[in-house]
Amino acid sequence: MLAGVFEGEGKLSIKEVLEPKVTKPSDVLLKVELAGICGTDIHILEVPPGHPATPGAILGHEYVGVVVDKGTDVNTLDIGDRVVVDPNLTCGVCRYCRRGLPNMCENFTTLGIYLNGGFAPYNVAPAKALYKISKDVPLERAVLAEPLSCVVNAMRKLNLQVGDNVVLIGAGPMGLLFLLMIKAQGAGKVMVIEPVPFRSKMARDLGADIVLNPKEINIKEAVMDLTELGADIVIDAVGNQFTTALDLTKRGGTILLFGMNENALPQIKQIIIPRYELKILGSYISWFSFPQTVSILESGNVPVEKLVTHKLPLEKLYEGIELMKRGEGIKILINPQE
């Protein structure tokens, strides 16, 4: 079969590999129906790499598929079931797993980064990573389960109240998922900060009340004008916007740091946090949030499929990655069956 394989040092090959088979009793063979390109894939392919991965692994950690074979121990799924994948495999026995924090697992590994993933027509995954989803859900929506599960985890921590004014910094794929969830939860004004016109338009189309371009206006003045006191909640979906977030949050408000950037070393005026009783939260991947994510996707209440800008066959994976790098796509999907 044809697969998108990470070859190390910024190299991705689209090449013939052997079709995988179920070898362990707990494994499931999936026919991959769609796989999304994630910002992490771009970081993996940077030189020097912005994110580690295993050379030889088939990339693609956001995917949806159908069960076509299963090991003898798998009794939670049947042949023909459609499933979404939680690619982060945790050990269950390390000190963090045993304290109920599997997203902090000391031994975790990831399908599509360290192990073979979804940029291929077939993939083997352990049954524990799979969540059944209704076949009534459009594939373009189901394929967003993994990124949405990370946002669902963060939203639970945020504890957004109806009518809260929210500033969202960054309208990339994750920021836009936040935007949809914030709207669905009944926020007040939703203000998005985004300089790229293509992304700004998408944010407006998806229901942002206003999109502010930090290159053109004074963001702090604009947010104060719109909210009087500042935002109840500020979300940094970029990864280096902590100082801006501190400027925009009202007294007693909450800042969620979600985006990640290894090089961000912000200079902050620390006194602002105790003096104004700000709450600073971090959120990392998903934490028991897949069941709720599947409910959201099945309900159709949050039209995440609107983020999809391109759908390409596997042989155009390079093209998809280039589009993503140039910021010309939001969610780019690969159909490995084409």
Site residues, Zn ion (CB under 5 A)? 38, 40, 90-91, 94, 97, 105
Q: Select 90 or 240, whichever has its Cβ closest to Zn ion.
A: 90
Q: Select 211 or 334, whichever has its Cβ closest to Zn ion.
A: 334
Residue 36 CB, shortest distance to Zn ion, in Å, is 8
Residue 171 CB, shortest distance to Zn ion, in Å, is 17
Q: Select 20 or 112, whichever has its Cβ closest to Zn ion.
A: 112
Residue 245 CB, shortest distance to Zn ion, in Å, is 23
Residue 97 CB, shortest distance to Zn ion, in Å, is 3
Residue 23 CB, shortest distance to Zn ion, in Å, is 23
Residue 22 CB, shortest distance to Zn ion, in Å, is 24
> What is the SS3 assignment for the chain?
CEEEEEEECCEEEEEECCCCCCCCCCEEEEEEEEEECCHHHHHHCCCCCCCCCCCCCECCCEEEEEEEEECCCCCCCCCCCEEEECCEECCCCCCCHHHCCHHHCCCCEEECCCECCCCCCEEEEEHHHEEECCCCCCHHHHCCHHHHHHHHHHHHHHCCCCCCCEEEECCCHHHHHHHHHHHHCCCCCEEEECCCHHHHHHHHHCCCCEEECCCCCCHHHHHHHHHCCCEEEEEECCCCCHHHHHHHEEEEEEEEECCCCCCCCCCCCCCHHHHCCCEEEECCCCCCCHHHHHHHHHHCCCCHHHHEEEEEEHHHHHHHHHHHHCCCCCEEEEECCC
Q: Contact at 8 Å (CB) between 245 and 237?
A: no
CA atoms within 13 A on the CB side of 78: 1
Residue 244 CB, shortest distance to Zn ion, in Å, is 24
Q: Select 42 or 94, whichever has its Cβ closest to Zn ion.
A: 94
